[in-house]
Amino acid sequence: MPCFRPALWLLLLACLLAPAVALGADNAEAVYNKGDYASAFKELKPLADAGDASAQYHLGLLYDFGLSVPKNPAEAAKWFRLAGRQDNAKALYNLGLLLTASPKLAASPGEAEASFRRSAELGEMPAQFALAELIAKGGSAKDGPAQAEHWYRKAAEQGDHKSQYRLGMMLLSGKATPANIQDASKWLQMAAEAGSASAQFQVGVLYDKGMGVHASPQEAARWFAKAAEQGDADAQFNLAVEYDRGEGVPHDPAQAAMWLEKSAAQGDVPAQLALARWYLSGHGVSQSAAKAADWYGRAARKDNPEAQNELAGLCAKGLGVRQDQAEAARWLSRAAELGDASAQNDLGIRYFEGQGLRKNPMAGYMWLTLASWQGHAGAKSNLEYAAAKLTDKQKAQADKAAKAWKMKR
């Protein structure tokens, strides 16, 4: 009768059991992929307890997303860590995501970054992008822009269009390495072809300016149109400009207005300003002071000084809105506080005249002084007129107030 030595017997037993364990893991993953999470849990748990990395990863997913079990981030992190110790790249990536969302679960301050880094080193594309994003946003204790560019490139080479776009923009800016417009153009084109609206807009800019490609108004308009149709507000604005000028597309003010309105509706301030001007003049749209005031108002509430100035003018004249000198003064005050010289000049005059606010010659002198310091031509002559109405002491106090205001800026 044959006799096996203990070590040889154990080796033979391991060889016989290994295919069964692998078969069990494959079957459990198949059940998971079908969406039968309750059955998957029953099959995955013993395998995970036995040390199977893939089972541990999938068990972590069940706890992470609350699939057939109560959502439990701490339990998910535990299983992702166990799988990660066996270099399961997906588990490491998911652990990084989990710890980024719930930093208190981290075993150490840098665990999320370390998890992303190891997963990225193992070739996991989403982890490469996540690590690049973390570094680019200043979240890494040791790496800078050059390493962000490195990991964006790694993910870009695997076809990730978000990384292709980010890499292209970094190469354009020269933040990490000297600017390389040709290389930037290549990656941005790849991302654009993959459907990235941001990249499509940027490629349009490249063709518009002839950067890294031969300048072509037609190509610029084509890429702006692709991004605009996906809802990119910047592209919608630029496409409106192309239609208004007839560059790369037929001259069509109505089409220009349509795209301008789409961009403005998304909150693009330059589009809101342009649309307001068009409604005032009737360019490409039916003239409407009320709609002009509405669009100026939207931009003004975003602290755009030009819009605040224009809205103040409409309020003062009662164009498109109820005439209200106090409201006009309020908008001028906001623009003046933002440093707009024209608003400072107009506000200074209002303080001298007591128009829409309480008369205060010293405050008026202060605002006229600030406007004149910025080279506003009207303010200089207005200041001379105002100086004659104040005592030397009052002028000195107003000058002091102007200097104090400027210091705060």
State mean pLDDT over 50-78.
97
pLDDT the model gives residue 409: 81
- What's the pLDDT score for residue 16? 41
User: Can you give the pLDDT at residue 136?
Assistant: 92
- Determine the structural domain holding residue 229 and report its residue range: 195-259
Residue 22's pLDDT band (cuts 50, 70, 90)? low
DSSP annotation of 120: H
The amino acid that residue 188 corresponds to is L
Is residue 142 situated within a structural domain?
A: no
* 252 in a structural domain: yes
Given a cut of 60, whether residue 372 has pLDDT beyond it is: yes
Reported as a single tens digit per residue, the pLDDT across 307-356 is: 999 999 999 999 999 999 999 999 999 999 999 999 999 999 999 999 99
Of 118, 170, 110, nearest to 145 by C-alpha is 170
- When pLDDT is cut at 50, 70 and 90, the band that residue 26 belongs to is confident
**Within a domain: 245:** yes
The pLDDT, as a whole number, for residue 201 is 98
User: Among residues of the chain, what percentage have pLDDT more than 90?
Assistant: 87
Q: Which CATH number is 205's domain given?
A: 1.25.40.10
* Res. 28 pLDDT band, cuts 50 70 90: confident
R_g of the chain computed on alpha carbons: 32
Q: What is the distance, to the nearest Å, from the Cα of residue 43 to the centroid of all Cα atoms in its chain?
A: 43
The 10s digit of each residue's pLDDT in 163-196 is: 999 999 999 999 888 889 999 999 999 999 999 9
**Number of domains the chain contains:** 1
Prediction pTM value: 0.84
Measured distance CA(148)–CA(354) in Å, rounded: 57
**Lookup: tokens for 358:** 């309480």
Looking at 234-373, which runs of residues are DSSP E strands? Answer: none
More confident residue, 199 or 377: 199
Q: Is the pLDDT of residue 77 over 90?
A: yes
Average pLDDT over residues 352-371: 96
- In sequence order, which ranges of 214-324 are alpha helices (DSSP H)? 217-229, 233-245, 253-265, 269-281, 289-300, 305-317
Who's near 361: CB < 8 A, 6+ residues apart? 351, 352, 386, 389, 390, 394
Local structure of residue 319 (DSSP, 8 states): S
Q: What is the pLDDT of residue 18?
A: 45
Report the SS3 class of residue 70.
coil
State in Å, rounded, how far the first CA of the chain is from the last one: 96
9 has pLDDT over 60: no
At 228-255, the pLDDT tens digits run: 999 999 999 999 999 999 999 999 999 9
- For the stretch 265-319, pLDDT in tens is 999 999 999 999 999 999 999 999 999 999 999 999 999 999 999 999 999 999 9
Q: 343 and 305 in contact (C-beta within 8 Å)?
A: yes
276 domain-assigned: no
Structure token pair of residue 343: 């608003």
Which pLDDT tens digit goes with each residue over 117-153?
A: 999 999 999 999 999 999 999 888 678 899 999 999 9
